[in-house]
Structure 1
Amino acid sequence: MLTSHEFKFFRAGGVDQVLIRDGADIAHIGELDQKLWVALACPTRGVEFDARTLDFVDADQDGRIRPPELIAACEWACAHLRNPDELMAGGDSIALDAFRDSEGDDLPLGEEALRVLRHLQKEDAGVVTLDDVMQRSDTLAAMRFNGDGIIGPDITAEEPVRRTLQWIAETQGSVKDCNGVDGVDRAHAEAFFAEVEAMRLWQAGDDGAACHDGRMLQAAEAVEAVREKVDDFFARCRVAAYDIQAVAALNASPETYEAIGAEELTLDNPRIAALPLATIAPGRTLPLRSGANPAWARALATLQQDAVAPLIGEANQIDEHQWNELLHRVASCRAWLAAKPRSPLSELDSATITALTAMQAPVMALIEQDEEAGPHNARLRDLEKLLRFKRDLLRLLENFVSFKAFYRREGAIFQAGTLYLDSRSCDLAVRVDDVKQHAVLAGLAKTCLAYCECRRGEEKMSIVAAFTAGDVDFLFAGRNGVFYDRQGRDWDATITRLIENPTSVVQAFFSPYKKFVRMIEEQVARRAAASDANAQGTLSSLASGLATADKTASAGVAAVRTRGRIDVGTVAAIGVAMGSISAVLVALFSKFIDLGQWIPMAIAGVILAISGPSMLIAWLKLRQRSLGPLLDASGWAINGRMKVNVRLGASLSKTAHIPRQALRLLHDPYAGRVGLGAPLSALALASLVAMVVWKLDLLHLP
């Protein structure tokens, strides 16, 4: 990518990284080839960084920050400052004369900053701080009209308006305002009053004129309640008149009644309601009282009282002709009812609808007043955003575009704190959500990693700490330590999982010998355990023999005599074996002495043959040790191989050292006794050296 801006780079971790020198570098960060960025994505949570600032950078609010969002944040901040070097100064304050008005801004940030200071009676300060903006935000949130466009019943003392707002919330739902209080916004209010207007127009419609006297409305409602079942009854009777053989099929079968009878019956049972209104027969009339389906008895009684009696005359039954006449008489009223809007307001009378219509103007006026404060709130949010960017943006760039903060040991945002364990402090500790999933990828870092569960009261979290110095002989699951987070709080830490890798070539040099000693100790312990078991068995047998001594005395004497005999062949075999071993050792020692001046080289060769493979493997792994897989497993997208060499590793894991100025008392009252082992070993070593010198002298070697 071609760029007109001249960047400067520094090298760390085997990668060239951009150096942010001034505001111009920040303003032109979008021109830097993204192949040169250290990271391409990072999470907004689980890092030691201000979450509010990261949320401002995270434009799509997906919980991750990527280069386009960071570039946009840098360009936006530079566009609102006269001098982008302000971003290098840090701090959470901006002078009023440092703001630059962007084109098209109806409310410039400088004016909004001055407005904030005036409300706080600090207009002479000339500098606005993040604390000033947050105080103003809290004040706006507590004001009657806070600019979020959401109002609640408590916003007014007028009881009709309060009841209307409550009605809107009950029928349309509510939303939370910036204080977390339930209220209604413009969309909910407009939807409510649209339903009110629909009901008003329906009630005032011409088709409802015939229903306004109330009698026809009741008749139409009674007819509509049973219309489908009555139509079904007369249709069945017509089919029965067409063919008498269909009567049995048109009525309920005995099996149907048996199924109904097997249940616990009530009159509102849906199976009973599904039966015809009355027994089907050719030309039969519909009974309105006795003989009708009991599930429909009340609806038929209402039909007789509200529709049949007023419009046709008193009758306990009607035929199909009377039914059709009744339908014709209430047709216009039924059509009006069919056009009735279906909403939570459908059952309200015209007086209530008229009263609600009158409440539309005052409710919408309150919403408009609240919305008028919205632009100031939006600019106040932008002002907070700019102040946070001035304080945090440079630090974010040095932990994303480059890892300057990490390689200069200034505390990277992914470092969760310091783990103290096994006489070491580990500064490279990262938060972990899923240990099992994290370990799959983090193992590729070729680093010794200890996953720890940290507890502080009821709080729990998991971390992974990198051990990059010292040995790993006494690191194992279950060991306890103390973890200090970036806020200085202490946590109990317990190792739950360990990924072993070499920490240095020196540690790898001694590793084979430690394994050999450990193997000998295990073999000795195993043999000792076997001997102890054998001894216990012998003692048990002896105890049993003593218990039965009177019965087995003669046999025991014979056995003792047999065991007491010495096998001459066995003694001879042991002697031959010892002689062979001695001869081999003498031959080896003679050959070793014959090497003369090459003895040191031989010793070095033996040591190299033993430790060389381990050291070679360690050297290869240490060359591959990097930070990338560890952070990739935590949700980052690392762009290059961020190496952790031996020198950097030594600074990340510090071993215990006594301060130089400290006094040290060397006498240890509990030190182990030396005994004759050390003098004898020293004597043997001196004899060996003397023999070598004597041999060299015989060979007349210098």
Structure 2
Amino acid sequence: MTNAPLIFGDYRGLVQYEIGSAEDLARMQAVPPARWSSTSVPVEQLLCDEALLRYIDTDENGRIRVQELLDAYDWLKARLRNTSRIAARTDTVHLDDLDASQPDAARLRSLARKRIKATTGQAAGAGATISLADIRAFRDGYAKKAPNGDGIVAPAQIGDAALSRLAALIVEVTGGVADLSGDLGVDEAKLDAFLALGRARLAWEAEGALSAGAETSDVLPFGAGTAAASEVVDKLAGKLDQFFAQCDLLGQGPVAEERLAVKPESLAALDVNDPAAIQKFLREAPLARPSRAGVLDLDAWINPLFVDEARRLSVEVLPRALGEAGPVRKLDPKGWEKVRALFGPYRAWQSKKPAAMPGDLAGAELCALIEGPAPEALRALVQEDQQASAELVGLSDLEKLALLQRWILDLANNMVSFPALFSAKERCLFEVGTLVLDGREINLCLRVVDKAEHKPIAETSNVFVAYVDLERKEGDATRKMHVAAGVTSGTRRGIGVGKRGVFYDREGKEWDAKVTDVIVKPISILEAALAPFVKLRELVVDKMTKLFGSKLEAAEKTMTDDVNKTLVAAPAAPAAPAAPAPAPPAGGLGGTLVGGGIAFAAIGSAAAFALQTLASINPLDAMLAVGGVALVVMTFSGFLGWLKLRKRDVSTLLEASGWAFNVRIYLRRNLSLRFTRVPPLPRGSIRKPRVTPLFVSGEEPAPVGRIVLAAALLSLGAAAGWYYREVIVTWVRQLFG
């Protein structure tokens, strides 16, 4: 079989290896990559099962390359004894097709039989099959149970109430990890992280605990009241540091005293009617008035915002901290440093406090949970789940086998060769769907991820491209997609930015479509031949609009100004008999009328000259001359358009979407009509004849009328060309040197 010759088909100059059977796939290895049509393709461009693409894209770089496709076929071939069903493109696996002599295939066969028996209750006999849908149903049901092979146990999968509570607690503390069922669960890493957090909490609590019979410790100098005393000290710490520093500053003399004094201007800026402004001012003010002695008198004036804390410091903290009878009324810098140092170990201990457990779990309850049997029992469940992974992997391999059996031929035909391009019955995997726009069905539609990157490359394809935004409502969600549609036959007609249509994807679902951008290129020879006249028409219309528009605006302005001057000016009473009226100024109303008369006279003279000239020319000669010139222009423009049309390249459009191509796929007539067409009337339809043989108001010419009109124009052009053959030959020689 492998010695059979490789067969290459010639698709109008495109030589491609033909792949139509499993035998052709087996010989695919002998085709060098340089002979492949495409050697690399982005996965988002292949419209097939997404799971299949994940299986083939082994390096997960988002692209399918030559070796990855060959490896996928080798994997499939190693497990299938009978490969004939590949050509049938079926995702149903016949168990008898699996090669029992191959260990992996035997394992898959045994697993499939097991799942079939578990579902139907009967043993899988000869001819038994399992479909892709069945495989996925087995796997999805398997994933919802424990053990399911992912090494993760969700609380809902645990029957024991205590272990389920522990698992839920771990998920709450650590965030958990997603189980195949979709629920959050616990794996060994999360279990170990929780135990580490719990033991850290217990160790922290032990460090701050009082020893038996002791009322205080270094960490708890006030025993159970340490937290409240430390809170008072912390609230006053900043203000006390400020007070003693300002006392030290007073020793620098009168200048320092002046700086520390409250300035009238600072009080002047204070809004004394705003309580919030006053509170802010007092919050920044000193705790007490600094003195050269550097001693805080707690019986003297104290900042009103800190009076309560100062009283608690005097009564509750200082007596015990300084070993004096309370309340303490005086505090010097040494006493303050002693107080701060006394609470240093407590603050250091508090800074190491771990995160609190849910439900204030701590102390003996936390210790019983951490050190009890529950964590190891939960670990055993996790390890049991990990050991069951072999069956889950087997189900994934069965899915991969069914997908490859269904799609491997299509994938090969969209990389090694592209026979579907030349078939009206098949579609390439890059064809997103059909765009119905401007009365045509456009099938050359490709996904576009980044239009800014796609467009510069697409412009070199010489294909007329319409970029279309697609939108579809599905329930509460709105799906969007962007495609590039190549218009390959007919004319542009009304296709432009803002044009709306409808799009049908490969599943027949309907999308709203709107053109957002176009790349304008010739679509047909007729359009190319008429292009110069279209441009001439647009140029003439534009120039005439600008010329007559500006002239009309100037004339209207001049006339308006003259009328205003005439109406506003007051007539003067003549002192003597009126002299003959002088000629009106050139800029007045009269000047305008005179100028208009001269203009009409000039136009009339020009018209008379034109009529006299036309009268002196034979009408037939004039028609032949005009027809000859038009025919020559159309011929050259059509010829240049034909050259461009022959260079329209579908592969360049695909390269703009990320494909890597070795060949050029030029659009010929058969491909042009395959990608863009006007659909025929439904079968059995009756077309009524037109009322008039040539034209009907508001409609295009009837087929007979088109033939007659084309014949008349062709005859006129041929006659003009023959009549002026010498002039045309001379002009062509001058044009081309």
- Specify if TM > 0.5: yes
Secondary structure in structure 2 of the residue aligned to 1:503: coil
Alignment equivalent of 2:366, drawn from 353, 361, 376 = 353
1:315 to 313, 319, 326: 326
Structure 2 equivalent of residue 699 of structure 1: none
**Aligned pair in 2 of structure 1 residues 608, 119: CA closer, same or farther (>3 Å)?**
same
- Give yes or no for the alignment of 1:651 onto 2:684: no
* Letter of the structure 1 residue corresponding to residue 356 of structure 2: P
Aligned partner of residue 352 in structure 1, secondary structure:
helix
Give yes or no for contact 1:208–1:336 (8 Å, CA) kept in 2: no
State the distance in 1 between where 2:84 and 2:514 align. Answer: 46
Amino acid at match of 1:186: E
Kindly provide the amino acid, as one letter, of the partner of residue 652 in structure 1: F
Q: Deviations over 1:367-413 (max 9, x none)?
A: 23333333322222222122111111221221123222223341011
Q: For 1:235-634, list aligned pairs within 5 A.
A: 244-245=251-252, 253-254=260-261, 272=283, 282=293, 284=295, 295=306, 298=309, 301=312, 305=316, 309=320, 312=323, 314-317=325-328, 337=349, 342-345=354-357, 349-357=362-370, 358=372, 359-409=374-424, 410-433=426-449, 438-454=454-470, 461-473=481-493, 475-477=495-497, 481-505=501-525, 508-509=528-529, 580-585=613-618, 609-634=632-657
Measure, in 1, the Cα distance between the counterparts of 2:352 and 2:46.
58
- Most deviating of 640-649 and 263-272: 263-272
Task: Return 263-272 or 618-627, whichever deviates more.
Answer: 263-272
- Cα deviation for residue 241 of structure 1 reads 8.7
Give the C-alpha shift of residue 297 in structure 1.
Answer: 5.5
Q: Which residue in the other structure is 2:53 paired with?
A: 54
Note the C-alpha offset of 1:110. Answer: 2.9
- CA shift at 1:130, angstroms? 1.1
In 1, Cα distance between equivalents of 2:18 and 2:383: 50
Which sections of structure 1, spanning at least 5 residues, go unmatched? 538-543, 545-562, 593-601, 693-702
Q: Structure 1's 47 and 213: CA in aligned 2 closer, same or farther, altered over 3 A? A: same
Letter in 1 for 2:668: N
CA-to-partner distance for each residue in 1:75-115, whole Å, 9 max, x for gaps? Answer: 33334334555544431122334335798969933333233
Change (3 A) 1:324 1:101: farther
Asked if the contact 2:522/2:645 (under 8 Å) is kept, the reply is yes
Could you tell me how far apart the structure 2 residues matched to 1:570 and 1:154 are? Answer: 96
Distance in 2 (alpha carbons) for counterparts of 1:504 and 1:72: 44
Deviation at 1:289, TM superposition (A): 12
CA 401–568 in structure 1, closer or farther in 2 if over 3 Å, else same: closer
Secondary structure at 1:17 match in 2: strand
Look up the SS of the partner of 2:44 in the other structure: coil
After superposing the two structures, state which structure 1 stretch, 134-143 or 277-286, moved more: 277-286
Give the 3 Å change call, closer, same or farther, for CA 580–105 of structure 1 in structure 2. closer
Matched, 1:95 2:94: yes
Residue 520 of structure 1 deviates from its aligned partner by: 12
Does 2:80 correspond to 1:81?
yes
Distance 1:147 1:270 in 2: 66
- Contact in 1 for aligned 2:89/2:406 (Cα 8 Å): yes
Distance of aligned partners of 1:635 and 1:189 in 2 relative to their CA distance in 1, 3 Å threshold: same
What is residue 575 of structure 2 aligned with on the other side? none
Q: Is the 8 A contact 1:478 1:495 kept in 2?
A: yes
Distance 2:33 2:515 in 1: 38
The aligned amino acid for 1:315 is G
Change over 3 Å in CA distance of 1:269–1:589 after alignment to 2: closer
- The structure-2 alpha-carbon separation of the partners of 1:450 and 1:212, relative to structure 1 and needing over 3 Å to count, comes to farther
User: Does the CA contact (< 8 Å) of 2:132 and 2:403 recur in 1?
Assistant: yes
- TM-fit CA distance, 1:611: 2.5
Does the C-alpha gap of structure 1 residues 58 and 350 become closer, same or farther in structure 2, counting only changes over 3 Å? Answer: same
Q: CA deviation at 1:7?
A: 4.6
Measure the CA separation in 1 of the matches of 2:382 and 2:618: 102
Decide whether aligned partners of structure 1 residues 603 and 138 sit closer, same or farther in structure 2, where only a CA change above 3 A counts. same
2: distance between equivalents of 1:469 and 1:65? 32
Give a deviation string over 1:199-246, Cα, whole Å, max 9, x none: 3345557x9564774544362645766778779969996997999549
Residue 133 (1) aligns with residue 135 (2): yes
- Contact between 2:77 and 2:83, CA under 8 Å: does it hold in 1? yes
What's the CA shift string for 1:331-363, capped at 9, x where partnerless? Answer: 9x7599479553335986431221221232233
Q: How much does 1:632 deviate? A: 2.7
Q: Structure 1, residues 603-634: CA drift from partner, whole Å, max 9, x if none?
A: 99867623321122122112211112322333
What is the CA–CA distance in structure 1 between the aligned matches of 2:622 and 2:348, rounded to whole Å? Answer: 121
Match of 2:179 in 1: 177
Residue aligning to 2:40: 41
Q: How many angstroms does 1:195 deviate by?
A: 1.9
Deviations 1:426-472 (CA, angstroms, capped at 9, x unpaired): 32223445556544332222123334455556665444333322333
Q: Are residues 337 and 85 of structure 1, via their aligned partners in 2, closer, same or farther at CA, if it must alter by over 3 Å?
A: same
Maintained 8 Å contact 2:650/2:665: yes
Q: Deviations over 1:6-36 (max 9, x none)?
A: 7543333644333335546546756643333
Contact 2:244 2:290 in 1 (8 A): no
Residues in 2 aligned to 1:249 and 1:163: alpha-carbon distance in whole angstroms: 66
Counterpart of 2:398 in structure 1: which amino acid? L
Aligned residue pairs total 644
Identity of aligned residues (%): 26
Which has the higher mean CA deviation after the structures are superposed, 302-311 or 22-31?
302-311
User: In angstroms, what is the RMSD of aligned CA positions?
Assistant: 5.9
Superposed CA offset, 1:225-282 (max 9, x none): 6778779969996997999549997999446996998896699989959967996765
**Matched residue type, 1:185:** D
Does the aligned pair in 1 maintain the 2:43–2:53 contact within 8 Å? yes
Compute the TM-score of the two structures, normalised by the length of structure 2.
0.68
Note closer, same or farther for the CA distance 1:48–1:274 as it changes in structure 2 (3 Å cut).
Answer: farther
Question: In the superposition, relative to structure 1, how do residues 277 and 33 fare at CA in structure 2: closer, same or farther (>3 Å)?
Answer: farther
* Alpha-carbon spacing, 1:356–1:666, altered in 2? closer, same or farther (3 Å): same
Shift in alpha-carbon separation, 1:299–1:181, aligned structure 2, 3 A? farther
1:298-347 per-position Cα deviation (integer Å, ceiling 9, x unaligned)? 5984896589549946432377887888899999x759947955333598
Name the aligned partner's letter for residue 402 of structure 2: L
2-structure distance, mates of 1:289, 1:297: 14
Q: Report if the CA contact (8 A) 2:318-2:339 is conserved.
A: yes
Q: Is the 8 A contact 1:431 1:462 kept in 2?
A: yes
Q: Is the 8 A contact 1:273 1:295 kept in 2?
A: no
d(CA) in 2 for partners of 1:288, 1:475 = 91
TM-score, length-scaled by structure 1 = 0.71
User: Is residue 219 of structure 1 aligned with residue 222 of structure 2?
Assistant: yes
- Number of the residue aligned with 2:592: none
Report the CA distance shift for 1:586/1:393 in structure 2 as closer, same or farther (over 3 A).
closer
Q: Give the match's secondary structure for 2:151.
A: coil
Structure 1 CA distance for aligned equivalents of residues 385 and 437 of structure 2: 57
Q: CA deviation at 1:191?
A: 0.5
